């Protein structure tokens, strides 16, 4: 066990099992104390590496995250405190691993319920190697104005109220973390504050005892008096009694053992801590208080008079000239977190993203205001979901059915088209699904699958302006623009694209109006008189029919229709549909275990 001070203004810790709030509280305490460097050097999160962003005053900092204790200790050799926030199931193993690191001097175990046999092994190893264990079942400890462990001393307001941002003259040790917070406040009211405070934890076998820390305090010159808060149960306080009797402590000790009310109960009572139960007269609060008083400690008659006893002891030391007045300093203002300030109505902050199509903040996600459960219960299909997420409204069933037909008809067009070819070559190169899919999608454009928007745009403009098919086609020719949606590499006037015929049949049967489609057919009639391959292709069919869907449904204004065509909604339909086929080609090549593709020489014209 260390014989003197274990913390300082330069102490740094490794924090095991990331918890944002206690780490941020440590960093805020550092800022209050005017530390130059953060007290948390690194975080250990098994299986994770990288950085965690936190605040050091106004500055946002990145604290390294390590996956193993050994790696963290090697990376931060000056960090000698290990703060263990692991659960009781793994706290023992991780604490022992930390104790075995030569750079670690102090281990604080926060978890309650660590098996007693495991704790005994930790205690034995720590004592054999002159190391300190605080806990288990502890909130930790604090050196005022220098360093604190995790949630010790609670909120920033409490820390300021207790003047913990600067050192005082009192050493304090307790079993209870909660009572420590209360006592820090009590001590600050009647003295110049604490210099160091430790909560050893409430388990039956604490890693370090009350007397261990009182003996340390006796060797720290800045500590002029010691305050001890014990509790009934166990015999830890008697080691302090023996130390006092043998003259090992030469500073005033004010002590109180809580639990005197236990004598009012007829049977043994278990209080909050595992070790807080009386097993006989010696373990009773009355027995311990009497023994401490007989050994020379200042023991009040009740907890209510504990504060007075502390005050009188402190004032006596001041009168004797053993304690000089502490220079008061004003701690800096810790910047308030934005979320806290917003909730308190202190600031207004602009948002960075606007979303109108979905909301995941409630009990279940909503698509355009429709709860997920309603979508399932009403038997919505993919066309209905697409209408909600793309158009922010529920379209009539014939509209969503048309969307689904488009997706089915455009899902794939064989392995030879450019998109599928790219995907196949990429998959055979051993690339992953996303890479293979994207390589195919990148070929979609004006020459492959991306002409739906242009077809809709030009057909709509020509029809709305009252151009005849002849005027439309010839005006496009003069501009040097091919008519989008017209022409096919394989299909001819006498060998129509079956997909186009199916779409036209559905529209004529279900749509209230097909004026744009009929105009596209008239344009096809004129272009076929020019060449037999200038047929209406699937892009042109979908483009013109989508105009009829938007106009005929009565659910879109003219401005909305123009915006839908301009933004690229219709090409989005092809992208969505073709992704199905491209994913299929990727899986097909991987399932067949096809080797790397190399284009054959005989299919290349080598020329100068």
The catalytic site residues sit at: 273
Supply the DSSP symbol for 335: P
| Terminal-to-terminal C-alpha distance of the chain | 85
266: CB partners within 8 A, 6+ apart: none
467: CB partners within 8 A, 6+ apart: 475
Q: And the tokens for 584?
A: 């299929």
Residue 402: closest CA among 573, 209, 172: 573
Indicate the length of the chain as a whole number: 608
Cα 543 from Cα 402, distance rounded (Å):
12
Cα 108 from Cα 85, distance rounded (Å):
9
Segment (H or E) for 97: helix 91-99
Q: Give the number of other Cβ atoms within 10 Å of residue 389's Cβ.
A: 12
Q: And the tokens for 19?
A: 């918890």
Q: And the tokens for 259?
A: 């639990």
Cα 305 from Cα 256, distance rounded (Å):
10
CB-CB contact of 549 with 402 (8 Å): yes
Token look-up 């720590």 returns 126
- Three-class SS string for 72-105? HHHHCCCCCEEEECCCCCCHHHHHHHHHCCCCCC
CB-CB contact of 508 with 407 (8 Å): no
Give percent helix, percent strand, percent coil of the chain, each to the nearest 5: 45, 15, 40
Cα 314 from Cα 32, distance rounded (Å):
26
> What is residue 51's three-state secondary structure?
strand
Cα 185 from Cα 187, distance rounded (Å):
6
Q: Give the number of other Cβ atoms within 10 Å of residue 373's Cβ.
A: 12
Return phi, psi of residue 368, to 5°. Answer: 50, 40
Strands 140-143 and 194-199: antiparallel
Q: Give the number of other Cβ atoms within 10 Å of residue 225's Cβ.
A: 25
Q: And the tokens for 181?
A: 């917070």
């Amino acid at each position: 066990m260390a014989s003197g001070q274990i913390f300082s203004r330069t102490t740094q810790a490794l924090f095991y099992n990331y918890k944002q709030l206690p780490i941020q509280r440590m960093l805020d305490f550092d800022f209050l104390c005017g530390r130059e460097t953060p007290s948390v050097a690194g975080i250990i999160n098994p299986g994770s590496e990288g950085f965690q962003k936190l605040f050091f005053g106004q500055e946002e900092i990145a604290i390294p995250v390590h996956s193993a204790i050994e790696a963290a200790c090697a990376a931060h050799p000056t960090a000698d405190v290990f703060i263990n926030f692991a659960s009781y199931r793994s706290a023992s193993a991780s604490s022992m691993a930390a104790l075995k690191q030569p750079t670690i001097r102090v281990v604080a175990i926060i978890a309650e319920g660590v098996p007693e046999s495991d704790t005994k092994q930790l205690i034995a190893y720590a004592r054999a190697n002159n190391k300190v264990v605080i806990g288990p079942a502890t909130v930790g400890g604090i050196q005022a104005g220098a360093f604190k462990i995790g949630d010790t001393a609670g909120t920033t307001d409490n820390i300021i109220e207790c003047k913990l941002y600067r050192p005082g003259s009192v050493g304090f040790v307790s079993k209870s973390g909660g009572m420590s917070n209360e006592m820090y406040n009590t001590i600050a009211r009647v003295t110049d504050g604490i210099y160091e405070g430790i909560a050893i934890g409430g388990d039956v076998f604490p890693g370090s005892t009350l007397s261990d820390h009182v003996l340390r305090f006796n060797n720290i010159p800045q500590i002029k008096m010691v305050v001890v808060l014990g509790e009934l149960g166990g015999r830890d306080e008697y080691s302090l009694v023996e130390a006092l009797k043998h003259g090992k402590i030469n500073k005033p000790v004010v002590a109180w053992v809580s639990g005197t009310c236990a004598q009012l109960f007829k049977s043994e009572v278990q209080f909050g801590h595992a070790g807080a139960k009386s097993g006989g007269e010696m373990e009773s609060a009355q027995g311990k208080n009497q023994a401490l008083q007989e050994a020379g400690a200042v023991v009040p008659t009740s907890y209510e008079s504990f504060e007075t006893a502390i005050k009188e002891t402190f004032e006596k030391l001041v009168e004797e000239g053993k304690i000089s007045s502490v220079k008061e300093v004003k701690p800096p203002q810790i910047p308030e977190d934005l979320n806290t300030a917003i909730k308190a109505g202190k600031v207004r902050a602009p948002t960075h993203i606007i979303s109108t199509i979905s909301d995941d903040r409630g009990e279940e996600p909503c698509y355009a205001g429709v709860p997920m459960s309603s979508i399932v219960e009403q038997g919505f299909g993919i066309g209905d979901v697409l209408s909600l997420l793309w158009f922010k409204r529920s379209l009539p069933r014939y509209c969503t059915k048309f969307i689904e037909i488009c997706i089915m008809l455009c899902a794939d067009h064989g392995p030879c088209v450019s998109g599928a070819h790219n995907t196949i070559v990429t998959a055979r190169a051993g690339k992953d699904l996303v890479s293979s899919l994207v390589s195919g999608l990148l070929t979609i454009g004006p020459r492959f699958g991306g002409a739906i928007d242009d077809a809709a745009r030009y057909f709509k403009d020509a029809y709305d302006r009252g151009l005849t098919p002849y005027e439309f086609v010839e005006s496009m020719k003069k501009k040097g623009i091919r008519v989008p949606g017209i022409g096919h590499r394989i299909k001819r006037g006498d060998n129509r694209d079956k997909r186009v015929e199916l779409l036209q049949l559905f529209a004529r049967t279900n749509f209230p109006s097909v004026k744009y489609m009929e105009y596209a057919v008239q344009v096809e009639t004129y272009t076929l008189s020019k060449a037999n391959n200038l047929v209406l292709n699937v892009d042109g069919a979908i483009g013109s029919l989508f105009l009829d869907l938007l106009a005929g449904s009565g659910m879109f204004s003219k401005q909305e229709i123009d915006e839908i065509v301009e933004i690229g909604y219709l090409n989005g339909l092809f992208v969505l549909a073709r992704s199905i086929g491209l994913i299929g080609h990727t899986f097909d090549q991987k399932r067949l275990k096809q080797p790397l593709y190399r284009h054959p020489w005989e299919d290349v014209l080598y020329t100068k």
